[in-house]
Copies of this chain bind each other. A is one copy, B any other.
């Protein structure tokens, strides 16, 4: 609990230059700043040092929260169950942490009687929407500050401002990239990537080796699922947050999970993005494969339509929305039977399901599928089926001759 007569603001803090400069900037606007960092598995960062830095540059309070389990269980899990890949390939890395960050920030604002929240997003990305839509939903009375969107500073001006306000400035040339990471993956944009005809250079990648540097031997792993979620690697049970981190190491070593794409942002522009998501690549390959074995056909064919909508909602900042909740009811209902084991082959940049089984829920029936003497399928039924199946199009052709008139005689 802090005591001060000034208006308090809770800042989504990363320790980087932008959100560090934001602290004096918000102080200048009259706020007492509470800096908050969530550990969502971004890795490679000394969170203690970040916490201290927050205080050093002026925050009245600086908080680090270990949110890895909540992130995995409440935010990544729905993505796994939904096979959620934006525009067919992006596993929604950054879109997932935003609603959790805001949930924590709003709770801290309420505890501290703060009436404002600040985030470090620019004005042309998706994250500002995800942050602010979540704030509007959870507490519409909270004011919002978006200093980076409002700075209108050149890099030089920002550095001057930092120096003037005692904010440490990184030495040497700044990274050309803008990076966001959590345990579900890593997003990279800007710099040389802005030209879509440029290939992503080696230094654009951080979680995976180049497939050409990966081991020359394939690695096989077994992944166990319960109710659609992975619960064990090679028979060894572990909680989801740990399982994901393990798989990031294993699959990253094989160069798996690199994504290079042109993407449609919610704010109306196309951007070029480079992502890495090694664990996501493995888990989602296995999950889909196990669904192929256990989901009934109509469910299997309808679920992608629902998944498409869920994915867009998450990407578009609508995590907190009644449509997301209703669609997830659908998804969760389908997953009670997604139990079993998938064997995966990891080799030189790609992962493939090579075998799968489900002791209690497999709908694959060798007696029905076989071409051997064990066949129990009623082949006679097929002729009747085909007759009624094709009756509407047959009548249509008889009446309208669209295709039969085009035959060469």
Give chain A's interface residues, CB within 8 Å of chain B. 87-88, 103, 106-107, 110-111, 122-124, 128-129, 132-133, 136-140, 146, 149, 154, 178, 190, 194-200, 211-212, 216, 218, 258, 260-264, 266-272, 288-289, 292-293, 295-306, 308-309, 312-313, 316-318, 320-323, 325-327, 329-334, 337, 343, 347-350, 352-357, 360-366, 368-373, 375, 377-400, 402-404, 407-409
Residue pair B379, A270 in contact (C-beta under 8 Å): no
Closest to A177 in B: B371
A264-B300, A298-B323 are known contacts. Are A198 and B293 too (CB-CB below 8 A)? no
Q: How far is the CB of A65 from chain B (nearest CB, A)?
A: 12
A195-B366, A289-B261 are known contacts. Are A402 and B325 too (CB-CB below 8 A)? yes
Instruction: Determine the distance from Cα of A289 to Cα of B259 in the docked complex, in whole angstroms.
Output: 11
A373: chain B residues at CB < 8 Å are 154
Instruction: Determine the distance from Cα of A124 to Cα of B368 in the docked complex, in whole angstroms.
Output: 9
Residue pair B385, A267 in contact (C-beta under 8 Å): yes
Among A218, A333, A390, A393, the one with the most B-chain Cβ atoms within 10 Å of its Cβ is A393
* Copies of this chain in its oligomeric complex: 4
Residue pair B133, A389 in contact (C-beta under 8 Å): yes
Closest to A396 in B: B296
A88-B304, A301-B264 are known contacts. Are A133 and B393 too (CB-CB below 8 A)? yes
A212: chain B residues at CB < 8 Å are 216, 218, 347
Q: How far is the CB of A281 from chain B (nearest CB, A)?
A: 11
Task: List 12 interface pairs A-B (beta carbons < 8 Å), by A numbering.
Answer: A103-B407, A124-B377, A136-B386, A136-B391, A137-B394, A263-B292, A268-B387, A269-B395, A270-B292, A270-B364, A317-B390, A378-B387
